[in-house]
Structure 1
Amino acid sequence: MPHSRPMYAVLTGDLVNSSKLPVSLSTRAMNLLRTSVKPFNSAFPDAVVGSMDTFRHDSWQLLLGRPELAITSALYLRTVLKMQSDATTKYDTRIAIGIGEVDTTDTGKISNSRGPAFSRSGKALDSMKDELLTLTTGTDHSPLEETLARSTVPLLDAVVSGWTPTQSQAVNNALLGLTQEESSMQWTSRDGSAPTRQAISQALKRAHWKTVHAVLQWIERQLPQNSKKSNP
């Protein structure tokens, strides 16, 4: 659907159970999120406006100039953390997505920006309970809002929440467009070993990647797309 002004997606998040993480681990998690933005923007040019803003010790915010990638980016960021989990430490992040217009943008500190997309994202995060992923387009009770916010996104949230570190890394690489061979070459195993293509294929299968990917492609067609990227 065309819009008179560019539409944006604002992702606001915080670490899950951050109070239980030592400062060194929560700092590591936030650094992982920050540095992960560059490869995502390389895979999806013009997706990110400015850079990820982090504040306090466990919160962050990201602005996308390509709102159709909102859920794709959210899943990517969650895999960035989940792939680092182990038997003693569980990493994950809550993410609230707000779709809409942006009035002002501070690319040096995204959280200083203003507009409906920012308000929706912040309010959505404040209202989250047990879920780890939510989305609002500002069109309550519309068919799109009902489908995405009430069914599609919660189902994706449930699937992603069940991913193991291995499945998360396999999906993370797939989201960046890597082939299974390329994924094997770039795998960051703790013991220095690299999985076979067959092992990666099995991890993707157990993560229901084929279905998740199809859903992400469908979502991208439903959310607003800007024909011309520009900062407000």
Structure 2
Amino acid sequence: MSRIISVITGDIVGSSDAPQGALERTMQLLSRAAGELTYWSLPPARFTRFRGDGWQVLVNAPELAPRAALFLTARLRADPEAMASRMSIGTGPFASLGGADLSDARGAAFELSGRGLDAMSRLRLLSVEGEGLTALHPVVLDLLEQHCRKWTRDQAAAAALALHPGNPTLQDMASVLGISPQAVNYRLSGGAVQAIRRALTGWEEAFLAHAETGSWTR
């Protein structure tokens, strides 16, 4: 069986009209956020910048790619000076993960991710295609995008913590944010984050169940 991965390819929305320094700040924030994915017990995401406002990250556990994309989105929305980014998830096998970074990586996952970004409407923020998906998966991601577009800065900061696959407690998140557990719950409820977490868990369970019966493995 071939092993599959997910690749997230992104570009920054409105980068040509960005205030001075905004693009660099956004890229630095994305790089740091991608580094935080190691706290999810994942191998390094190997954040790689290309084409000025373009970037890529690797998600070795493909079932977690939508969760990772929403996490990156939350980190950007929580920062008042960061710009938004479109993100295309491609899931499939790979031929090479490259050398020092992903600039020379090759394989279907990378191709699907790049083509998906090129085909995305400028009005969309998230897309997904590749192996292990049904017709419903893009629809679910579309609904999740509509929720995250409405996050306030505070809701996004809480969502970034809540999206950890270990499901941190309200007290855990409150300690990081420096607010009460009740205030954390208020932010999560306002941002529909509990519903988002349930949807992501269902996505991940369905993906892994399909992997067990398919011709590929994670």
Q: 1:32 aligns with which of 29, 32, 38?
A: 29
Gaps spanning 5+ residues in structure 2: where?
none
2:175 to 185, 207, 220: 185
Equivalent AA in structure 2 for residue 37 of structure 1: A
**d(CA) in 2 for partners of 1:14, 1:40:** 19
1:210 paired to 2:194? yes
Q: 1:97 is matched with which residue?
A: 89
Amino acid at match of 1:54: R
Is the 1:7–1:67 contact (alpha carbons within 8 Å) kept by the matching residues of 2? yes
Could you say what the CA RMSD is over the residues aligned between the two structures, in angstroms?
Answer: 2.1
Aligned AA (2:186): Q
Check conservation: 1:71, 1:216, Cα contact below 8 A.
Answer: yes
1:45: which partner in 2? 41
Compute the TM-score of the two structures, normalised by the length of structure 2: 0.88
2:22–2:83 Cα contact (<8 Å) kept: no
Alignment of 1:112 with 2:104, yes or no, is yes
Letter of the 1:200 counterpart: V
Q: Which residue identity is paired with 1:147?
A: L
Correspondence for 1:126? 118
**Normalising by structure 1, what TM-score?**
0.83
Corresponding residue pairs, total: 210
1:72 equivalent in alignment to 2:60: no
* Residues 102-181 of structure 1 aligned to structure 2 (within 5 Å): 102-129=94-121, 130-137=123-130, 144-149=133-138, 151-176=139-164, 177-181=167-171
Give the corresponding residue for 2:207. Answer: 223
Give the match for residue 16 of structure 1. 13
- The offset of 1:199, in angstroms, is 1.4
Deviations 1:46-101 (A, max 9, x none): 3545x11112332110111100001000000000100002xxx5632110000100
Please state whether the residue corresponding to 1:110 is helix, strand or coil: coil
- Offset of residue 197 of structure 1: 1.8
Q: Which amino acid aligns with 1:24?
A: G
Over 3 Å counting, the alpha-carbon distance change for 1:53 and 1:152 in structure 2 is same
Report deviation, 1:145.
2.8
Question: Aligned partners of 2:149 and 2:43: how far apart in 1?
Answer: 25
CA distance in 2, matches of 1:138, 1:218: 17
1:180 deviates by: 2.3
**How far apart, CA to CA, are the structure 1 residues paired with 2:74 and 2:168?**
15
2:49 to 50, 54, 59: 54
Instruction: Work out the CA distance in 2 between the residues paired with 1:214 and 1:80.
Output: 20
Separation (CA, whole Å) in 2 of partners of 1:133 and 1:47: 23
